A and B are shown apart, each in its own frame.
Chain A
Amino acid sequence: MTSLPPALGVGGAILALVLALSFAAPWIAPFPTTEQHMLERLKPPGARFLLGTDQYGRDLLSRTLFGGRPALGLGLGAVALGLVLGVPIGLTAGYVGGRLDDLVMRVVDAMLAFPSLLLALLIITALGASTGHALLAIGVANGPGVARIVRSATLALREAEFVLAARARGERHLYVMFGEIFPNVLPPVIVEGTLRIGFAILAGASLSFLGLGVQPPAADWGLMIREARQYVFLSPWPLLVPGTALAFTIVAFNLFGDGLRDRLGAT
């Protein structure tokens, strides 16, 4: 896929802003996220509530600032888990090859036949709805895709000279895999990981929107949009404010990932 030319810079700038605002939320948010102002419900942006209020009169700016924390945490955490699961599996399958590779890749293909949201839903049914379970479910759903990328990158390096040299020196297989091959498959892994963060945030927000992720009264973008839904014709702000934040964050991660891919020259 072709990326826009200034992708890396624009994506990186938006990302830095989103990360900084989420980090600084406790200091810059004008109100506590759960403070209700019953006389000022569903207000449009104004002098007191800069971006308006929701159906309980809670300040949308404050909730949106804090709402990025679970969204980013979920996205980053789930991708980290996907990498922890997928990298060793992909490395092993690609390095060992043969029957094991066949078997592992069949299972990976079968798991990829599920839309990742569906796989996450299956896991959540077994475990119950909560932020932690959503992270676990999306992380597990990300594992097979990561394994596939790592496996094909490993396969390309299996017969490389530095790998053969390490084996001729009598290095242990584990060392060859993690000490020699892994550092060399890092660029595609980093690109894949970055691109997956956007999708993981989207999946996490979708789960929260469906009521199966972050639970009320916490401030989370997906959950805020779920709650805004009923009142959307009374006031669009509870939808527009967190929706814009969510969209910008996902666009930024995708731009940054695409830019990184072009820069690192990975596939």
Chain B
Amino acid sequence: MARYALRRLASIALILVLVSAIVFVAIHVLPGNAATLILGEYATPEALRTLEREMGLDRPLLVQYASWVGSVVTGDWGVSLAMKQPVATVVGYRLRNSAFLALAALIVVVVVGIPLGTLAALRRGRPLDLAIVTATYVGISIPEFVTGLLLLLVLAGPSLGWFPTSGYVELASGVTAWARHLVLPAMTLTIALLAHVVRQTRSGLADVLTAPYIRTARLKGASPRRIVMRHALRNALLPTITVLALDLGYLMGGIVVVEEVFAYPGMGRLIIYAVQNRDVPLLQMCALVVASVYVLANFAADLAYAWLDPRIRYS
């Protein structure tokens, strides 16, 4: 287990290096470098060259890449061009807000998705199963910005008005107000994510229920409730962990749109802000942070999987 973790850690380090290279290449090799982005397309050649020299853009690409990676690793994330604030400060605050949102959505997905999937597996082929599968299928197919706006229209509209239409309140100024701002964006993400977990639980449980040890338990006279809760679910749920980790990638794409819909100050909205203002230092760190979170989450999921299932021996 420890050796497996170490080997995976080495390959993750390699992936993170490649991830940083992709971010760098996407922004620096494509036409229009940072100096053109800052000065606009009508800048004089002299002004461009001066700024390029100031920013070190006249150096060979590999040198630029190395110096960028060097400063990132040593904690110097640069200054946002549009916000005039240190990138690390901005990203830290926004990452925390997004983490609240993502965590809320994931918790609801687990709490709602696993029982729904279990119910569907136990009623396989019946109307209830069909209803659950169809509803989650539709949920995953409707774009988040449509779901979000529909929820907004119904639950935050003038007639009901249960939740604020947008924005964010600091946790320090009251848990209730904070949570109320979280509900609609989290609900939107949940609707988009529910399908994966429901399907995985449903098919995993359906497979396990045909296993000989379940038959044994049944013949012993164990109650159906006990069979599902104590015997079947434990084994059926393992792959769900992997699905959840993969969903995190989906979640981080969804967060961009959902945060924009609800004007929620997280990473997603920060990324859009960076794109709209062509704020290169900010954007490249956002991209790097988001991809790193995803890679590390998958690593954590693999470890959890190996820890929970002693039968798995990674060689």
CB of B146 within 8 A of CB of A210, answer no
CB of A117 within 8 A of CB of B32, answer no
Cα distance A128–B275 in the bound complex, in angstroms: 9
Within 8 A of A (CB), among B122-167: 130, 133-134, 137-138, 140-146, 149-150, 152-153, 157-158
A72 to nearest B CB, angstroms? Answer: 15
CB contact under 8 A between A229 and B149, given known A122-B26, A122-B287, A210-B257? yes
CB contact under 8 A between A106 and B14, given known A118-B287, A125-B283, A127-B31? yes
Interface centre among A123, A127, A251 (most CB of B within 10 A): A251
- Contact among A122, A225, A251 with B27 in the assembled complex (CB-CB below 8 Å): A122
CB of A247 within 8 A of CB of B153, answer no
CB of A121 within 8 A of CB of B257, answer no
Q: What B residues does A233 contact at CB under 8 A? A: 153, 157-158
Q: Is B231 an interface residue (CB 8 A)?
A: no
CB of B15 within 8 A of CB of A119, answer no
Q: What A residues does B145 contact at CB under 8 A? A: 205-206, 209, 222, 225
- Contact among A1, A2, A212, A236 with B275 in the assembled complex (CB-CB below 8 Å): A212
Cα distance A236–B271 in the bound complex, in angstroms: 28
CB of B203 within 8 A of CB of A118, answer no
Q: Interface size bucket, B side?
A: 35 or more
CB of B257 within 8 A of CB of A206, answer yes
Chain B residue nearest in CB terms to A120 = B253
* Chain-A contact segment, one of B17-25, B92-100, B181-189: B17-25
Q: What B residues does A97 contact at CB under 8 A? A: none
CB of A110 within 8 A of CB of B22, answer yes
CB contact under 8 A between A247 and B142, given known A114-B291, A125-B27? yes
Q: What A residues does B257 contact at CB under 8 A? A: 117, 206, 209-210
Chain B residue nearest in CB terms to A254 = B141
Cα distance A21–B117 in the bound complex, in angstroms: 37
Q: Is B4 an interface residue (CB 8 A)?
A: no
A31 to nearest B CB, angstroms? Answer: 24
- Contact among A2, A114, A116, A239 with B149 in the assembled complex (CB-CB below 8 Å): A239
B148 to nearest A CB, angstroms? Answer: 10
Cα distance A232–B272 in the bound complex, in angstroms: 22
Chain A residue nearest in CB terms to B145 = A209
Q: What A residues does B173 contact at CB under 8 A? A: none
CB of B253 within 8 A of CB of A118, answer yes
CB contact under 8 A between A118 and B199, given known A113-B295, A211-B276? no
Q: What A residues does B249 contact at CB under 8 A? A: 113, 115
Q: Is A18 an interface residue (CB 8 A)?
A: no
Q: Is B252 an interface residue (CB 8 A)?
A: yes
Q: What B residues does A168 contact at CB under 8 A? A: none
CB of A114 within 8 A of CB of B143, answer no
CB contact under 8 A between A106 and B18, given known A113-B294, A210-B256? yes
Residues 25-44 of chain B: 1 if any A CB is under 8 Å from the residue's CB, otherwise 0?
Answer: 01100111000000000000
CB of B276 within 8 A of CB of A123, answer no
Cα distance A71–B31 in the bound complex, in angstroms: 26
CB of B133 within 8 A of CB of A250, answer no
Q: What A residues does B275 contact at CB under 8 A? A: 121, 124-125, 212
Q: What A residues does B18 contact at CB under 8 A? A: 106-107, 109-110
Q: Interface size bucket, A side?
A: 35 or more
Within 8 A of B (CB), among A115-170: 115-119, 121-128
Cα distance A211–B203 in the bound complex, in angstroms: 39
Cα distance A1–B196 in the bound complex, in angstroms: 8
Chain B residue nearest in CB terms to A119 = B26
Q: What A residues does B153 contact at CB under 8 A? A: 232-233, 236, 239
Q: What B residues does A122 contact at CB under 8 A? A: 23, 26-27, 283, 287
CB of B26 within 8 A of CB of A109, answer no
Q: Is A193 an interface residue (CB 8 A)?
A: no
B193 to nearest A CB, angstroms? Answer: 13
CB of A109 within 8 A of CB of B294, answer no
Q: Is B290 an interface residue (CB 8 A)?
A: yes
CB of B26 within 8 A of CB of A118, answer no
CB contact under 8 A between A116 and B253, given known A127-B31, A206-B145? yes
Q: Is A57 an interface residue (CB 8 A)?
A: no
Cα distance A211–B272 in the bound complex, in angstroms: 10
B291 to nearest A CB, angstroms? Answer: 5
CB of A111 within 8 A of CB of B30, answer no
Chain A residue nearest in CB terms to B142 = A247
CB of A106 within 8 A of CB of B15, answer yes
Cα distance A211–B257 in the bound complex, in angstroms: 11
Residues 176-219 of chain A: 1 if any B CB is under 8 Å from the residue's CB, otherwise 0?
Answer: 00000000000000000000001000100110011110000000
CB of B146 within 8 A of CB of A247, answer yes
CB of A2 within 8 A of CB of B203, answer yes
Q: Can you report 21 residue pairs joining A to B where beta carbons are below 8 Å apart?
A: A106-B18, A110-B18, A110-B19, A110-B22, A115-B252, A115-B253, A118-B256, A118-B287, A125-B283, A126-B27, A127-B31, A202-B143, A209-B143, A229-B149, A229-B261, A232-B152, A232-B153, A233-B157, A236-B153, A239-B153, A243-B142
Q: 6 smallest A-B Cβ distances: which pairs? A: A115-B253, A110-B18, A126-B30, A122-B26, A117-B253, A243-B146
In the complex, besides A113-B15, A210-B260, 12 extra interface pairs with C-beta distance below 8 angstroms are A4-B134, A4-B137, A114-B290, A115-B249, A115-B253, A115-B290, A121-B275, A202-B143, A209-B260, A210-B257, A247-B138, A254-B137
